[in-house]
Structure formats: structure tokens, C-alpha cells
A = this chain, B = another copy of it.
Amino acid sequence: MPGLDLRTIGELGLIEALRRRARQARGVWVRGIGDDAAVLRPRPGRDLALTTDTLVEGIHFRWSTTDANSLGRKALAVNLSDLGAMGARPLGFLLSLALPEDASPEAIDGMLRGLLVEANTARCPLVGGDTVAGPVWTLSITAIGEVPKGAALGRSGARPGERLLVTGTLGAAALGLWLLERGQGSVQGARRFIRRQLCPRPPYEAGLRLLRTRFASAAIDLSDGLARDLAQLLRESGLAAEVHLDRLPLPRGMRALCRRFGLEAEELALHGGEDYELLFCVRAEAPSAAVFTRRLGCRVTELGVLRAGRGARSLRAGCPVPVAPWGFDHFKPVCTSADK
């Protein structure tokens, strides 16, 4: 698609293109793109949730393995996943976009398309932002959502004896990344996993619906891998957990593909990351996972139980097994023990 050559249109041209394409923000938005700041009129009885997440070329994505449309969708999706984990409904987002001067007009166009498709899907309009030059593509998004006053789900509200549940399946995105990076994207059955890596579909509504059940005490979105994100939730709540590894919800076809490449499906589910599912805690008397599946509109699996103490203990067939609770660390990609 022509017309988005930065050296021709300049920064103002890019901002104009964003403004033209973004659906006009309405509802709570009093001012959007074109002013020094976007202005929102909060609705009475609502709190606002704000979150920011960044994708950097060469770190979070490579042009050799992603397409521009998926990149745009993912950049917004990972932020909306954070809002969802608080039980918040998205209201809008700001985009801070750093682009190399020679960024391909087709890539910019594709990214914007993907971004705005995701924005329309989630009814979360682009309301402002900043465009700058940079050595690599960097998409930094701040998303704003609303949640009934006092109801936001945090990481620190869990209590001993509560149950630990998770939406969807785990490990698919990590397997997809592995396949992509080894050039195995065209093997049979790979497509689905690669899709999960390139274009995650977080259960945006799950957090909101979970709030309405009134059984939840804490939640976190799974971006860094179950083991690490669970460790974080436990740290914030000052608790321990017992997790049944044999209950880990693996996607269909994952074990077969993993066997073929000598990978441990369980490892990917625990430590792979980028699942963008919702891990949450409910009171002991809450209904079964099957009932949550119905009420949240997506698969829900019960993983274990929370205990007094510190760290996570893993069980297989009811017996303890050691699992290092590491996950993805941008600066320190090595095992660290939080089990102590």
C-alpha cells in the first residue's frame, strides 16, 4: 500500500493517517487525536485501569517470522489482556510508535490495519499517541479500561484454601515460536501454534465475567509463563500453592508435535510464556471449573489450591515433583529459585 513512506509524508503525515483511519472515539472520550492530550470523562461509579506494554523489534518479534498485521493486533492484544485480568472493560488506548526512517510503507500500513482491527474488535479506540524515529520498530501501548468502583481484581487478594484456575490452554504460543525460529512453520499441525504466537487471542471478556461471579479474589494474565506469573501472584498475595501438573491444559495436537521434535510439552506450558490466558483464584465454595467454563465463555481448568506459606509446589499423580519457577526475564533468561 502506497502513501505511508515516512520520508515523504513525515511525522505529521503519519499522525494524519492514524487519525483518518482510527474510528472516532466516542462515549467517554471528550477529545482524542489532535490535542496535546486525550480527554476522558469517567462514568460515575467506575474506577479506571491503566496498563502499558511494549513490543520491540528483535526482542519481541522479528520481521523474518511475523507479518505486520499480526504485529499490530498483538501489540494491542497484550495490553488488553492486562486490562482483562483486572476485570476491566477497555475504553481506549494511546500508541507510542518508534519507526526506523526507512520503515516499509507496506509494513506500516499492515501494522496499522491489524492494530485498528483489534481496536474495533475490542471496541477500544485509538485516542492519542506519539510517533518518533528510532533504530528499530518499538510499539508501546497504554490501554485504559473501566471497572466497577472497588471491584478491580489484583494479584494480592488471594487467601489460603482458595482454588487456582486458568482459562484456555497453555504452551501453544511457545511451541509456535520454537517452530518459527527453527523454520518448521510448514510441518503438519504447526499452523495453529504459530497463529497463537503471532496473533494471540486473549479472553478479553473472561475477567469481566469473572468479576460478575463474585467468587474471584485475585487474577493475573499469563504473559511470562504459568510458573513465573503464578510465582508473582503468590508473592503479591504472600501465599504458597499446590499445582497439579497432570491437569495442565495442553492444546490438541501439542503432545504429538512436541514428541516429534523432542520437546517437553509440560515445560512449554509451564515456562514458555505468551499464553495471554487468565490465571485466577476463587473461594473454596465457588462452583466447579465446568460452571466457570460456561459463565466465562471459554475453557476453564482447575490447577490446584492455595496454601499458607511461600512459593509453588508441583504435584504429579498427587506426589511432589520439583519445578523451577522461572519464566521469561528480559534481562536474565536463566533459572532462579523462588521456591525457597
Contact = CB atoms under 8 A, between A and B. Distances in A.
A11 B330 contact: yes
A36 B142 contact: no
A155 to B, nearest CB: 5
Given A56-B133, A132-B54, A40 B47 contact: yes
A35 B154 contact: yes
Between A37, A131, A149, the greatest number of chain B beta carbons within 10 A of the residue's beta carbon is seen for A37
A40 B48 contact: yes
Interface stretch (A94-102, A171-179, A193-201, A283-291): A94-102
Contact of A155 (B30, B35, B99): B35
A265 B19 CA distance: 35
A12 to B, nearest CB: 7
Q: For chain A, give the interface size range.
A: 35 or more
Given A9-B332, A144-B50, A329-B11, A56 B152 contact: no
Given A44-B44, A82-B36, A149-B41, A50 B94 contact: yes
Contacts of A330: 10-11, 131-133
A314 interface: no
A104 interface: no
A53 to B, nearest CB: 5
Interface in A79-99: 82-83, 85-86, 88, 94-96, 98-99
Given A39-B147, A134-B136, A149-B41, A52 B96 contact: yes
A151 B98 CA distance: 32
A83 to B, nearest CB: 6
Interface in A121-173: 127-136, 138, 140, 142, 144-145, 147, 149-150, 152, 154-156
Contact of A6 (B11, B49, B86, B331): B331
Interface string A30-70: 11001111111110101111111110101110000000000
Given A59-B133, A132-B59, A133-B330, A36 B86 contact: yes
Contacts of A136: 134-135
A96 B127 CA distance: 18
Contacts of A219: 36
Given A37-B83, A38-B49, A50-B94, 10 more contacts: A9-B332, A11-B329, A12-B329, A30-B152, A36-B83, A38-B50, A38-B51, A39-B147, A54-B132, A99-B331
A8 interface: yes
A252 interface: no
Nearest to A142: B142
A249 to B, nearest CB: 21
